[in-house]
Amino acid sequence: MISIKSSREIDLMRQTCSLASEVMEYIEPHIKIGVSTLELNDLCHNYIMEKGAYPSPLNYHGFPKSICTSLNEVICHGIPNKNDILRDGDILNIDITTYLNKFHGDTNKTFLIGNVSDEVKKLVDVTYKCMWEGIRQVKPGAHIGDIGAVIQEMAHDHGYSVVEEYCGHGIGREFHEEPQVVHVGKRGTGAEMKPGMTFTIEPMINLGQRHCRLLKDNWTVITKDGKQSAQFEHTILVTESGYEVLTLRKEEDPHGPK
């Protein structure tokens, strides 16, 4: 069952989601060569707690930290660690989920560290455009499958692959709700979108092949071929006429890049 949020619930979703995007803006200047992913975790943790909220990942099915930090070949769910020090040429995804007033807001962004190769910079740029192309499909009467269809097409046009094992999700009172938002698929398939639905769109796009491997920590997901993977995520509300990006940052256009 896909929950439809009332106008009161939508207002609470707006609040938790704007906190999540505020945390992303807060952490950005700290993401520099020489800093550890654990330091970034601790800064985000303290910021979220000071706002009277809670970092949803912490203890979620046993996840040990407050944010996910996924470096280079890590696709998602990387665990912050004092020994993971950012180096010139890295790409780092920071995934932030806040729990405020009983509602979750979820967003992630891939950052470039120092001088990143043109090849990998382009992967990050195209991944961002894939997310926005997915977002632009959202309106009442459209189908969840429309999102994956356009993301898959754009990624494949650039010779990239799309991760299929992990996907976007409904979000609200629960961190992960129905529906699953797969980032591949066919137009016209899947659940029909209705006003008041809230879900994430969070494509993971690989420079090489789509296959993944789970590390022995049972969280960190890496590419099988060791090549880089990029990801962006927003929490989206289906409105009467289209969509509202609840985790939009100040730097972003409400309808994304053209």
Examine residue 106 and tell whether it contacts ligand MF3 (CB under 6 A). Answer: yes
Question: Binders of ligand MF3 among 116-155, rule CB under 6 A?
Answer: none
Tokens of 224: 């099988």
The residue count for binding ligand MF3 (CB under 6 A) is 12
Q: Please state the closest distance from residue 106 (CB atom) to Co ion, in A.
A: 4
Find the radius of gyration of the CA atoms of the chain: 17
Nearest residue to 247 (alpha-carbon basis) of 116, 107, 47: 107
Among 4, 26, 63, 225, binds ligand MF3 (CB under 6 A): 63
Among 12, 44, 57, 248, binds ligand MF3 (CB under 6 A): 57
Examine residue 26 and tell whether it contacts ligand MF3 (CB under 6 A). Answer: no
Among 110, 200, 206, 231, binds Co ion (CB under 5 A): 200
SS3 104: strand
Distance (Å, rounded) from C-alpha 20 to C-alpha 88? 27
Under a CB-based contact definition with an 8 Å cutoff, are residues 68 and 107 in contact? no
Q: 54 contacts which partner out of Co ion, ligand MF3, none, CB within 5 to 8 A by kind?
A: none
For Co ion, which is the closer residue by CB, 64 or 89? 64
Distance (Å, rounded) from C-alpha 3 to C-alpha 13? 13
Distance (Å, rounded) from C-alpha 187 to C-alpha 195? 19
Q: From the centroid of its chain, how far is CA 207?
A: 18
Q: 60 contacts which partner out of Co ion, ligand MF3, none, CB within 5 to 8 A by kind?
A: ligand MF3
In the complex, the residues that contact ligand MF3 under the rule CB under 6 A are 57, 60-61, 63, 68, 77, 95, 97, 106, 202, 219, 233
